Amino acid sequence: MSIDARQTYMEGEVEQADGIQLVELLYRKAVEAIARARGHLRSGEILPRSRQITRASEILTELALSVDHASGGPLSRNLVELYDYMQHLLQTANVAQTEAPLAEAQRLLETLLEAWEEASAQASAGGALLSVYGQDALAEYVPVDCTY
């Protein structure tokens, strides 16, 4: 897929997504960026590895800034602390040029994505979705560009 086609697809996906879908999209893009960074690390490509780690870090920053502490209570604080821990892992991996911190950050994000998808499915089926991201914040949220 060409860069222009990919950009157009991403723009359409973001424009049509609700708040829950945007969070899922950001988790997926962060996981993809870390997976690419791991591949670049294995092949010794320093600049592409750093770019992918930076992309994942920017996504984590946006997710952390979007957490609604008023609605989320202690869960929101724990989530932000987890994002901070993953940021630390990404920085460690980038500086030390080691894969283990990247693998751990990727596993954590995949676990969060699975949990968010399950909560989203339950909400769609009529269950309640515990919101740590306020609906107002998500309605105004503009995600980072995930298509470098």
70-106 pLDDT per residue, tens? 888 899 999 999 999 999 999 999 999 999 999 999 9
User: 10 Å Cβ neighbour count for 23?
Assistant: 24
* Radius of gyration of the chain measured on its C-alpha atoms: 16
> Which is nearest to 56 in space by CA: 103, 14, 15, 96?
103
pLDDT of residue 101: 98
Asked if residues 115 and 92 have their Cβ atoms less than 8 Å apart, the reply is no
Domain ranges of the chain: 3-124+133-138
Whether the Cβ atoms of residue 102 and residue 38 lie closer than 8 Å to each other? yes
**Contact (CB, 8 A) for 138 and 66:** yes
Q: Is the predicted pLDDT of residue 141 greater than 70, yes or no?
A: no
104-113: pLDDT as tens digits: 999 999 999 9
Q: What is the CATH class of 3-124+133-138?
A: mainly alpha
Say which DSSP state 135 is in.
Answer: H
